[in-house]
């Protein structure tokens, strides 16, 4: 009888990452909470149809109505359903957070890859530009840029008079200054990866710099990029809420969690729930994205056991 050696089948890195993530209960709970918030926000039109109401419909006879079977979270100063407005605001705030984080990560990844791979004067120039953006006072800069009159910048009237121009502007402005963290992370990892044997082998075979960065380096950078992007979503939602609260972000009638707080700031003594609901939602969502980012960081860390 021959003796055979039995070996455990090697488990993939993604399998181990998923296993480590599922052990992080706070991150798993945050992911489930964010999926619930996203589902409710996307399903806002279905809630409107099922309940037979319009979230933007004004009903002055039902002003400041307390929570009831008809209005689950009460009504605001114009008699609009708070629950429906909260879901509509979630659509905008989550869209701003996710799209802006993706755009910022894309910009940062491109700059970090080019700087880390080519090095030399190009690396020095791009990193000094990155340091310059980091050194700028973020909130005052965004306030000034948000207050610019788009009509005086020579933009087409079709864009400046669009109903969603405030949404496009906030995404553009935050992405314009929010790429620096990803750029520095990608640049540092690229400096290490470009010295690996598989990159040197690709160079010796005549592969172009673009192909090496795309095929050999970028796939190995996905873990830090995913973690940094996830962590930035919460900060972007908070930043959008601050700008909307100051009246420089998302403009009515387009609702967001930030301008829902703006509308409620003078009614705290009369109807405190109008400020409590969006405030709690912002805090919980931002915290959930931060916990999710921490969980992904632990799960995707190649040094984790």
Domains of the chain, first to last = 24-41+79-300 (1.10.3720.10)
**Strand, coil or helix: 221:** helix
**Dist CA 273 CA 64 (whole Å):** 10
**Dist CA 278 CA 158 (whole Å):** 32
What pLDDT sits at residue 303? 59
Burial-class residue 1 by CB neighbours within 10 Å (0-12, 13-18, 19+): exposed
CA quadruple 29, 35, 37, 40: dihedral sign: negative
What pLDDT sits at residue 113? 93
What pLDDT sits at residue 66? 82
Would you say 279 and 261 are in contact if contact means Cβ atoms under 8 Å apart? Answer: yes
**Strand, coil or helix: 76:** coil
**Strand, coil or helix: 285:** helix
What pLDDT sits at residue 4? 45
Would you say 75 and 57 are in contact if contact means Cβ atoms under 8 Å apart? Answer: no
**Strand, coil or helix: 47:** helix
DSSP-assigned beta bridge partners for residue 81: 75
What pLDDT sits at residue 302? 59
Question: In which residue are the tokens 């990892």 written?
Answer: 189
Contacts of 32 (CB under 8 A, 6+ apart): none
**Dist CA 77 CA 75 (whole Å):** 7
Q: What is the pLDDT along the chain (305 residues), one digit of tens a residue?
A: 444 444 444 467 677 777 888 888 888 999 999 999 999 999 988 888 887 777 778 887 878 888 877 778 888 888 888 888 899 888 988 999 999 999 999 999 999 999 999 888 999 999 999 999 888 888 788 888 877 777 777 777 777 777 778 788 888 888 888 899 899 999 999 998 888 888 888 888 888 888 888 888 888 888 889 888 988 898 888 888 888 877 777 877 788 888 888 888 777 778 888 888 888 999 999 999 999 988 888 887 655 55
User: pTM for the complete prediction?
Assistant: 0.85
**Dist CA 227 CA 221 (whole Å):** 10
Would you say 228 and 179 are in contact if contact means Cβ atoms under 8 Å apart? Answer: no
What pLDDT sits at residue 36? 94
What pLDDT sits at residue 20? 82
Instruction: Name the DSSP letter for residue 212.
Output: I
């Amino acid at each position: 009888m021959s003796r055979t050696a039995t070996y455990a089948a090697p488990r993939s890195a993604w399998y181990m990452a998923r296993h480590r993530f599922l052990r992080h209960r706070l991150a798993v709970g945050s992911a489930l909470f964010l999926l619930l918030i996203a589902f409710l926000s996307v399903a806002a039109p279905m809630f409107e149809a099922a309940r037979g109401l319009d979230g933007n419909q004004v009903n002055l006879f039902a002003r400041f109505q307390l929570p009831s079977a008809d209005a689950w979270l009460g009504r605001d100063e114009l008699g609009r359903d708070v629950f429906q407005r909260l879901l509509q605001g979630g659509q905008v705030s989550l869209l701003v957070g996710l799209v802006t984080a993706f755009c910022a990560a894309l910009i940062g990844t491109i700059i970090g890859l080019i700087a880390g791979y080519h090095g030399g004067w190009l690396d020095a120039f791009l990193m000094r530009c990155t340091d310059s953006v980091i050194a700028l006072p973020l909130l005052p800069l965004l306030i000034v840029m948000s207050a610019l009159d788009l009509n005086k910048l020579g933009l087409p009237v079709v864009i400046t008079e669009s109903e969603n121009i405030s949404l496009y502007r906030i995404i553009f402005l935050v992405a314009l200054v929010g790429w620096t963290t990803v750029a520095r992370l990608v640049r540092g990892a690229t400096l290490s990866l470009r010295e690996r044997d598989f990159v040197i082998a690709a160079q010796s075979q005549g592969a172009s710099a673009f192909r090496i960065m795309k095929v050999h380096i970028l796939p190995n950078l996905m873990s830090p990029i995913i973690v940094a992007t996830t962590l930035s979503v919460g900060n972007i939602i908070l930043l959008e809420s601050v700008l909307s609260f100051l009246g420089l972000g998302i403009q009515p009638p387009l609702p967001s969690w930030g301008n829902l707080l703006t509308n409620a700031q003078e009614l705290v003594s009369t109807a405190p729930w109008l400020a409590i609901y969006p405030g709690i939602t912002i805090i919980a969502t931002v915290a959930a994205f931060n916990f999710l980012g921490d969980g992904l960081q632990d799960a995707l860390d190649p040094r984790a056991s």
